[in-house]
Chain A
Amino acid sequence: MKAKYIPFFSLFLLVIITSCSETSNEQLFDSSLLEKRSAEEVEKVVEDFILAEDSTTIEIGEGFFDLKTQLILDSKENITIQGAGMEKTVLSFRNLKTGGEGMKIVGKNITVKDLTIEDAPGDGIKAQHTDGLTLRRVHATWTHGDKSKNGTYALYPVQCKNVVIDECIAAHSRDAGIYVGQSENIIVKNSLAYGNVAGIEIENCDNAEVFGNTARNNSGGILVFNLPGLPKSDGKGTKIYNNKIIDNNHKNFATPIGEGPNGNTVTMIPPGSGVVLLAAKEVEVFDNEILRNKTVGVAIASYQITGFPTDAPNWSPYTHDIFLHGNSYDRSEGFPDLSRELGQLVSMYNAHGKAKTQDIVYDGIFDESRGNSIAQNPMNICISEPGLENLYFTQFDLSEGEENIKSSADVSPFSNCQVNVTTDVSFISSK
């Protein structure tokens, strides 16, 4: 089974791609206008993190803080890190010479508020093994003109529980702006992600709600992935609703110009992707505005499409139990991407004609233990969109490999069902 999907890597070797993807260096404000804090004042912030006592607030005043070492809050409880405002307190890690992330958090009930993180060489804020994490009005960005210098994730909770990300802004990450990995009980709301490769990504997580956000001008807007071989081996239960997922046509700059994808899955995301579900389980996507994403509005794919090995314990490469309803689409923006193989697949093999933007695509890869025909909808993919008959839907058939890629516009196997996706984040919604 696996081998059949691998050849996509060599599929378009001879096609010369001069894609006209856009790029952005938009900044919320000019931090160079802020007053620069002295070396002693910067050192005081470093000390405050190191010497923090439980149940206290670390206040960081106005100004531009040029940090040369990491800010690490280690194994503390009930701490609030309070800035003076996203446009007033800037922690710059441009001159960090060692360590990955700018701010690292481990602990219990930690809140970070009202500040900006700039130019961390790795991740902006990484929180790990933290039960109770709230990021509110935190802005993380990179200001290098050359985006190949940018770091990986702006806001990065991993292996955490009870995570709330509210009114945050994440920009220009070389991977995902807001990335929640291997965590459970998650709210990402009222936030903005732009200029990233991926706007918001939920990966190997359980019980997540993503709502009221704007993901614009990324290569991909909102992603739900499950990747193999991780300690939290698989994830399920995500609701994505009331988001604006618009104009996600940014160049995929996760790898340098002229270089194709590497082993990081996000490097394969074709510019112009609204929502991408990869090896995702129990995901409900509803009442979103999914507009002007030039390649595809919603892509439903199994991990086999990457061509990477799919053997890993306690993990399934298949996407199943997906429910799309009440979303609005607009496929008026240009032509599908040709810089990534998944873009080429959409552009050349969709069921509505070459170079036509698709609203919804499904790779049609299914687990034969769940059924023997895609017509039976064995993976329980349910699409119940208003005006479905006017949308461009493509279901691919990749079972015969690159030699014979087939596609179908028939949505009927998927349009008369529903999936009951259960999430419950009520107990953290007051945070």
Chain B
Amino acid sequence: MTRLSKKNIASYLSLSFLLVFFFSCQKEDQVEQSLAFDPQKDHEEADGIYPYDWLSTYGFFEGDLKSLTPSQKLIEYEPASSLFTDYALKSRFVWMPEDSKAAIINDKLTLPVGSVLIKNFYYPEDYSKPEGKRRIIETRLMIHQEKGWEAFPYIWNDSQTDAKLKVVGGETTVSFVNEKGEDQVINYLIPNKNQCKTCHNENEKLDPLGVEVKHLNHEKDFDGKKINQLAYWTEIGKLEGFEGVENHPSMVDYSNESLPLADRAKAYLDINCAHCHREEGPASTSGLFLSYEQTDPLKLGINKTPVAAGNGAGSHQFDIVPGKADESILVHRMNSTAVGVAMPEIGRTSIHQEGVELIRAWINEMK
């Protein structure tokens, strides 16, 4: 896995590949042409030239692929706060080439060339039993090539035996029972390869999101032991430059209700919005900057008029009206699923109720 030139992806995209189609514009005349998604798998050699056609070829997981049992070389990681993706659960791993390690310089975490981030998106049938039967929808790989990061979406087949590279993305319907025991159906959209950069974008270069010092500088369970993730990476020889939890920034878990509301709200906005809404991100055009560190009220949207919000502004004048969540564009856009209104623009087709409530409470508390 040393030579990292890019294959001609076009050769993978055979027309025999059948995609699941759903025409679901209107509920009353919903037509479901549910073609099985079971592309024929050819033998593929792990020749070190990325991307591979099939997820299994990378050898990241052991045994039955759908168990997602990581090989010894993978490190599982978890950001303190998680990006909402239509209630999908995620498991995340990083692989770094042998004899190389990540580094923290000036609080910026850099992974060595050759590293791969592996993120699996799945739905348990029943959220009250998250370890029970599940359906894996997609696995996204981000590969750190010589010339920078590149993202590759793999879509799982119906029989859950493997996942195939599909640069044009796709669409599927997911059913599950939520924690309250209610039946849920979500029209899940798998982004096309270039849409990845809608979020993963720093100064127009593809960039990982969750793999930042502030997101990882907290404890996680490793084999039953709670250890700071960055300390663990250091301990196993995969990180240098970490000087202890207190000496680096860290962000809270927004779902932890014992923490101050403002910290939770800003953590939520950071992981869900700030990848675009920051000076280095595509939504810099708006002047609305929502990172955890932001303290300028105007940049946070307080009494700030929108710029190019179009329909997104609804009948409201300002991004945030202190004390008045329901007159704030921020809440209006989080609380919508209409394309052109809904924020974030991609990655969700449902409303994150808990997220809306958190931001609403934060704005209502503002003076």
Contact = CB atoms under 8 A, between A and B. Distances in A.
A312 B299 CA distance: 10
Contact of B192 (A40, A70, A152, A153): A70
B105 interface: no
A231 B287 contact: yes
Interface SS of A by simple majority:
loop
Contact of B306 (A99, A121, A151, A264): A264
A50 B167 contact: yes
B155 to A, nearest CB: 13
B90 interface: no
Nearest to B310: A152
Contact of A69 (B195, B205, B298): B195
Contacts of B82: none
B287 A230 contact: yes
A308 interface: yes
Interface stretch (B7-15, B126-134, B174-182, B217-225): B7-15
Interface stretch (A174-182, A322-330, A374-382, A414-422): A174-182
B168 A263 contact: no
Interface string B309-353: 111011111110000000001000000001110000111010000
Interface of B: 9-10, 13, 15, 21, 25, 167-169, 171, 187, 189, 191-195, 197-198, 204-205, 279, 282, 284-287, 298-299, 303-311, 313-319, 329, 338-340, 345-347, 349
B275 to A, nearest CB: 15
A391 interface: no
A248 interface: no
A74 B310 contact: no
B294 to A, nearest CB: 13
30 contacts: A39-B21, A46-B192, A50-B193, A72-B192, A72-B194, A75-B204, A97-B339, A99-B198, A99-B346, A100-B339, A104-B194, A129-B204, A151-B311, A152-B310, A152-B311, A152-B340, A156-B308, A174-B311, A181-B285, A227-B305, A229-B298, A230-B287, A231-B279, A231-B284, A256-B315, A262-B317, A263-B318, A264-B309, A264-B313, A267-B313
A74 B194 contact: yes
B168 A97 contact: no
B308 A96 contact: no
Given A99-B345, A309-B303, A262 B314 contact: yes
Interface of B is mostly: loop
A312 B171 contact: no
Contacts of A254: 310
Contacts of B318: 263
B310 A97 contact: no
B51 to A, nearest CB: 12
A352 interface: no
A205 to B, nearest CB: 13
B195 A70 contact: yes
B282 A175 contact: no
Contacts of A182: 285
Nearest to A130: B204
Q: Which range contains the number of A residues in contact with the other chain?
A: 35 or more
A46 B10 CA distance: 12
A229 B287 contact: yes
Given A99-B346, A151-B340, A231-B284, A262 B313 contact: yes
A175 B194 contact: no
Interface of A: 39-40, 43, 46-47, 49-51, 68-70, 72-75, 95-100, 104, 106, 121-122, 128-129, 151-153, 156, 158-159, 174-175, 179, 181-182, 227-231, 254-256, 259-260, 262-265, 267, 308-309, 311-312
Given A121-B340, A262-B314, A95 B194 contact: no
Given A40-B15, A159-B284, A122 B195 contact: no
Contacts of B285: 128, 158-159, 181-182, 230-231
Contact of A99 (B195, B204, B205, B304): B195
Contacts of A312: 298
Contact of B191 (A75, A98, A153, A262): A98
Contacts of A175: 308, 310
Nearest to B25: A95
Contacts of B339: 96-100, 121-122
A39 B311 CA distance: 30
Contacts of B305: 227-229, 263-265, 308-309
B310 A262 contact: no
B167 A51 contact: yes
B218 to A, nearest CB: 31
Contacts of B25: 95
B141 to A, nearest CB: 15
A254 B298 CA distance: 24
Contacts of B310: 122, 151-153, 174-175, 254, 264
Contacts of A69: 168-169, 191-192, 195
A309 B287 CA distance: 15
